[in-house]
Amino acid sequence: MTDVDALPTPAVVVDLDVLERNVARMQERASRSGVKLRPHAKTHKSPEVARLQRSAGASGLTLAKTSEAEVFADLGFDDIFLAYPVVGDDKARRLLKLADRVRLAVGVDSLDGARSLGGAFARAGRTLSVRLEIDPGFHRSGVLPEDTVALARAVADVPGLELSAIFTHAGQGYAAPTPEEVARVGAEEARLAVETAEALRAAGLPIAEVSVGSTPTAVAAMSGAGVTECRPGTYVFNDRSQVALGSAAPEDCALTVIATVVSAPAADRAVVDAGSKTLSSDASRPTADGYGLVVGRQTRIARVSEEHGVLAVAPGERFRVGERVRLLPNHACAVVNLHDALVAVRGGRVEGRLTVAARGRVQ
Amino acid sequence: MTDVDALPTPAVVVDLDVLERNVARMQERASRSGVKLRPHAKTHKSPEVARLQRSAGASGLTLAKTSEAEVFADLGFDDIFLAYPVVGDDKARRLLKLADRVRLAVGVDSLDGARSLGGAFARAGRTLSVRLEIDPGFHRSGVLPEDTVALARAVADVPGLELSAIFTHAGQGYAAPTPEEVARVGAEEARLAVETAEALRAAGLPIAEVSVGSTPTAVAAMSGAGVTECRPGTYVFNDRSQVALGSAAPEDCALTVIATVVSAPAADRAVVDAGSKTLSSDASRPTADGYGLVVGRQTRIARVSEEHGVLAVAPGERFRVGERVRLLPNHACAVVNLHDALVAVRGGRVEGRLTVAARGRVQ
């Protein structure tokens, strides 16, 4: 077995002990709340991690894109929810094939989108399970609360579709300035989701699942009475933003990047061989402040270009060319999508690879 | 042949007519200036595009990482400069193998880095051609002008290395507020590079090549007397930032993304199926302002998450779910690195694929 110190850099490494602990802990939290855990596999895109989640008790997987579902179906995962407003007859035809071998549900947030999915299923005499996305204040996709009942009725009437669930994603939690505020966002998300489900039931729609999601808001949202499912993703690896948001401690970060200092031309500046092609250029949350931390040092990555991470060297610190450093990236999901495989490590020794099987599947 | 309107979305498409015109034009500009063109292949990572550049007259390729050079060497490209401070004995051993089949040069900007490369070559009784990176004011990697002569002398004395060139990258041109200011940065880069080369020659170092680079500064920098080589990359595709910087017109943008509107929950907001996994989250230059434009509309992409591009719908415009739109991304190089292949299009018809053969090669 290779020592982690012998890996060529940059290397994206995952500490298996931390990963396993993270997977077990979130599952325990969900089980304690009586909520099904359906992790968002976008974070890892990896069959090895998805199997860990399934063994721990996950009820199924969440993904966003049809092509991601195809990858995980090929890998033997048979219960998938696409938490995304999938649109288009070409996608519907692919979903129809997927539904032969997978227990499938798909997000909708518009009547036009719903109709574009229903056609292929109706023509085949089949039914696609759809879940209505409700906007809990993030203002990305999702129907506005005031339009929900009318849209739900219309979607339920689309031939080929069956509406039996709603889902929310309170991404505004990533902008909340304190852990208390993050928890408040999660609690409010749960309240809105449950209230919406009750309004739909009162309108005669059989809403069986109330699904909420995101790692920072998960604990607060799962504890809302009436919530039945939660879809966090990042908790498996965690990252600098999760630590800043209070949803993980530094020792809960399973994914780091080992890099080499390749340039140190001035006392206040050094360059590592990991730039945006390794770390992504995603901003840190809740406050944008560079592109990652150097673990065990005060120095942070102030700028990235594709292959350069420029360290703003903190006073009293020094980096020498050839030195290896460990970086904590801002956003683990974005890092994973840049690499074909992650290096699996336990106790400083390489144990194998985690395959990023669904990397780059955007369609 | 498929019509471009029938492609599943999101799709990254390259207009071959525009690409070929861009390749020819930059080559003409270099030839007119009497400067060798060694394009940075990081933009396309693609043998098909590199062959176009070679056919047009490129003297060789520029790349950053050892693994990228290995990919292009396997594809039959035999003249490669790694414009990057490559560091480490493991990399040196790989470069030694590459040097068997490729005319190779590698960047250095420190004595420690140079020594880490020289060892493997000296032990094998071989010589690696190195080029000293000079910082022309970008303050990323590159030796500071005042340290250059001393470092060059020391590098030239490292066994296994031969120092015969210098190179610069004036990335600060990307922050210049006007095209005139961009040109001034390029002219200043050339002045500094030539002056530095002369100082090194006066110190007895045989500097044969003076290499400058970057698409926005290329025209101004190539016209500097004494510059022998230029290394622009993005010019093959161009992007929103190149248009904003004045180095390309909108009709010079060969790479765009075709996306579908998947959500339109409010009059001022719509969501397309291309987020940071398709477009990257790189900022626009010289001013950070969202994540791309909708071609032919006033609307821009205000926010991205991994699979969502959130449009801030301009007054008077409207986007309907299911509608296809064409997006101009901020940074073409970053987009390309997210995809295994680009769709090659001519006159609205699909002609084939451009393989992103060196995608994700960060080591």
Mark whether B179 and B302 lie in a shared domain.
no
Cα–Cα distance for residue pair B78/B93, rounded to 1 Å: 18
Mark whether A165 and A122 lie in a shared domain.
yes
Task: Give A196-254 pLDDT, tens digit per residue.
Answer: 999 999 999 999 999 998 999 999 999 999 999 999 999 999 999 999 999 999 999 99
Minimal Cα–Cα distance from A32 to chain B, Å?
A: 30
Question: What are the two backbone dihedrals, phi and then psi, of residue A11, each rounded to the nearest 5 degrees?
Answer: -130, 130
Residue A22: inside a domain? yes
Last residue of some domain: B193, B213, B236?
A: B236
Nearest residue on chain A to B144, judged by CA atoms?
A265
Number of structural domains found in chain B: 2
Residue B363: inside a domain? no
pLDDT tens over chain B, length 363 residues: 689 999 999 999 999 999 999 999 999 999 999 999 999 999 999 999 999 999 999 999 999 999 999 999 999 999 999 999 999 999 999 999 999 999 999 999 999 999 999 999 999 999 999 999 999 999 999 999 899 999 999 999 999 999 999 999 999 999 999 999 999 999 999 999 999 999 999 999 999 999 998 999 999 999 999 999 999 999 999 999 999 999 999 999 999 999 999 999 999 999 999 999 999 999 999 999 999 999 999 999 999 999 999 999 999 999 999 999 999 999 999 999 999 999 999 999 999 999 999 999 999
- Quote the ipTM score: 0.97
CB of B48 closer than 8 Å to CB of B14: no
N-to-C CA span, chain A: 38
N-to-C CA span, chain B: 38
DSSP character for B159? T
Nearest residue on chain B to A337, judged by CA atoms?
B277
Cα–Cα distance for residue pair B240/B329, rounded to 1 Å: 6
Contacts of A269 in chain B (CB under 8 A): 139
Residue A353: C-alpha distances to residues A360, B95, B136, B316 (Å): 18, 25, 41, 51
Residues 6+ apart with CB under 8 A from A32: none
CB of B133 closer than 8 Å to CB of B143: yes
Helix or strand or coil: residue B255?
strand
Q: How many CB atoms lie within 10 A of CB A5?
A: 8
Last residue of some domain: A187, A209, A235?
A: A235
Residue A156: C-alpha distances to residues A91, A152, A212, A279 (Å): 20, 6, 21, 43
Residue B122: inside a domain? yes
Q: What is the CATH number of the domain that holds A328?
A: 2.40.37.20
Q: What is the CATH number of the domain that holds A196?
A: 3.20.20.10
Minimal Cα–Cα distance from A246 to chain B, Å?
A: 21
Mark whether B213 and B317 lie in a shared domain.
no
Residue B360: inside a domain? no
Are A362 and B282 a contacting pair at CB < 8 A? no
Give me the helices (H) in chain A, please: 16-33, 47-56, 66-74, 89-98, 111-123, 148-156, 179-202, 218-222, 240-245, 276-279, 332-336
Mark whether B272 and B226 lie in a shared domain.
no
Confidence of residue A2 (pLDDT cuts 50, 70, 90): confident
Is-above-0.80 flag for pTM? yes
Q: What is residue A63's predicted lDDT score, i.e. its pLDDT?
A: 98
Question: What are the two backbone dihedrals, phi and then psi, of residue B24, each rounded to the nearest 5 degrees?
Answer: -65, -45
Contacts of B277 in chain A (CB under 8 A): 337, 360, 362
Residue B73: inside a domain? yes
Residue A156: inside a domain? yes
Strand partners, A140: none
Mark whether B277 and B176 lie in a shared domain.
no
- Test the B interface: residue of A115, A277, A338, A355 with most B CBs within 10 Å: A277
Which domain range does residue A67 map to?
A: 18-235
Mark whether B231 and B267 lie in a shared domain.
no
Q: Which residue has the tokens 């987020």?
A: B275
Amino acid letter at A361? Answer: R
